[in-house]
Amino acid sequence: MSSGDWWSIFFVGLLVIAAAAMAASEAAVVRMTRVRAMALADDGKRGAHLLVRITQDPARYLNPVLFATLACHVIGTTLATTVAVRHLGSAGEWVASAVLTSILFVFAESMPKTFAILRTDSVSLALAPVIYGLGRLLYPLARALVGISNVILPGKGLPKGPFMSEDEIRRIVDVAESEEVIEEQEREMIHSVFEFGDTVVRNVMTPRPDMIVIEAKTPVRQAMDLAIDHGFSRIPAYDDDPDNIVGVVYAKDLFRALRRNEDGGKTVRDVMREPFFVPETMRVSDLLRDMQTKHMHLAIVVDEYGDVAGLVTLEDLLEEIVGEITDEYDVEESPIMPVADGWMVQGKMPIWELNELIGADLPDDEEWQTVGGLVAAALGRIPEPGDEVVFHGFNFRVEKVQRRRIESVHVRRVSDEAALEQVAR
């Protein structure tokens, strides 16, 4: 063979090596996430700053890499075929194609991509300058060729937005928990964070009938006794009507007044603070930020008419993420108790929670969010103890009512025949 043939073979070898680097680059770009690139940059890894730029717009850098890979394959095959034809005649075309295809598949596709998948971080960091340089150098040409392909076959190409949706993240978390990468409590907390942003104050507040309030003209010592009896550090204060909240009294302010012997003649009005009102439709994520900014631990919730609908505490908001928080004053009371033929359920229990616990599919309508609200709506009148109604395959019997508010309900499944018979009555 002539020196020219040896140089051709040498260039084919270089092109195979270049194609292998391009294949590894492609696998690295596809597998590397923006979050991981930022983490590597925070760790001060060399080349990580380029990796962050690449992951911010992967299509800009992936298309030039694919173009360079194809160029290496085509040029290498052409050179090898030229040498083979010169020495083997017409059969050289088939020999060169077969040999180079095998070499490219093993050494320029399979091996480098597998290596890049196994060591994504190290390969990505090592090849980041190459990928970034190709992106800057070949992007105009690659973009023009992609534009021609889009004219022939219109398409939107690679999306610019987030490459992972909320549902995909949730599924990843579920898989991680099933494979014991994270614990069940961690999975539930991550899911709670996503749900936190969609929850409104109405769903987490303590409703008005369950609020402990105190009249503004109550003496300080009597107010302190109330705070101790119920274990609350903050109690809303009202004027004349419990729905007319005019302030919030802190237990520490009451204690300070008693300690200084200032309780003589002093009332709650003298030590209470300004109330913080929020609408019931406000998102809990927004409320949490407001409470952090304003250093508030309790907010009075009002409905669309400005009437008091309930109250919400900082603890209520945190419980939406970390689960129930109990202290020495909390009395744990199960909202649902199994009985012989069904369940005894508290009227204030949310519909969604009952559905999860008993495997039901009861509707969570805008008009009601609790079991008591559902039963009252189904009855269509003020409930009384002993009232029964069949709804969506379940029989609801009112057990206890307090001031026109359902306290407890007996719930049991009924067959289709029994449901029809009950309705006929």
pLDDT of residue 423: 46
Q: Is the Cβ–Cβ distance between 409 and 401 less than 8 Å?
A: no
What strand order describes the sheet that includes 308-313?
206-207, 308-313, 298-302, 277-279
* Residue from 146, 148, 152, 161 nearest 63 by CA: 146
Alpha-carbon distance 200 to 179, whole Å? 33
pLDDT of residue 410: 93
Q: At which residue do the structure tokens 């003020």 appear?
A: 382
Distances in Å between the alpha carbon of 403 and those of 138, 383, 385, 407? Answer: 76, 10, 12, 10
For 112-147, letters b (16+ CB in 10 Å) and e give bbebbeeebbebbbbbbebbbebbeebbeebeeebe
Alpha-carbon distance 342 to 67, whole Å? 67
pLDDT of residue 40: 85
* Residue from 61, 63, 27, 23 nearest 147 by CA: 63
Alpha-carbon distance 197 to 189, whole Å? 13
DSSP assignment of 62-94:
HHHHHHHHHHHHHHHHHHHHHHHHHHHTTHHHH
Q: Is the Cβ–Cβ distance between 424 and 402 less than 8 Å?
A: no
Alpha-carbon distance 74 to 15, whole Å? 10
The count of other CB atoms within 10 Å of the CB of residue 273 is 14
Determine if the pTM surpasses 0.75. no
pLDDT in tens, the chain (425 residues): 678 778 888 888 899 898 888 888 888 878 887 778 888 888 888 888 888 888 888 878 888 888 888 888 889 888 888 888 887 887 878 888 888 888 888 888 889 888 888 888 888 888 888 888 888 888 888 778 777 777 776 655 544 444 456 677 778 888 888 877 788 888 888 887 877 777 889 888 888 888 899 999 999 989 999 988 888 889 999 998 888 999 999 999 998 888 877 666 788 999 999 999 999 999 998 999 999 999 999 999 998 888 999 999 998 888 887 776 666 555 556 788 888 888 999 888 888 888 888 888 888 766 777 888 889 888 888 888 889 999 888 999 999 887 778 888 999 988 654 544 444 44
* Residue from 77, 83, 82, 137 nearest 108 by CA: 77
Distances in Å between the alpha carbon of 117 and those of 25, 110, 121? Answer: 10, 11, 9
* Residue from 248, 243, 312, 236 nearest 281 by CA: 312
Distances in Å between the alpha carbon of 238 and those of 231, 243, 248, 263, 272? Answer: 19, 7, 9, 19, 10
Q: Is the Cβ–Cβ distance between 134 and 65 less than 8 Å?
A: yes
Looking at residue 325, its amino acid is I
Helix, strand, coil: what percent of the chain each, to 5?
Answer: 55, 15, 25
Q: Is the Cβ–Cβ distance between 351 and 374 less than 8 Å?
A: yes
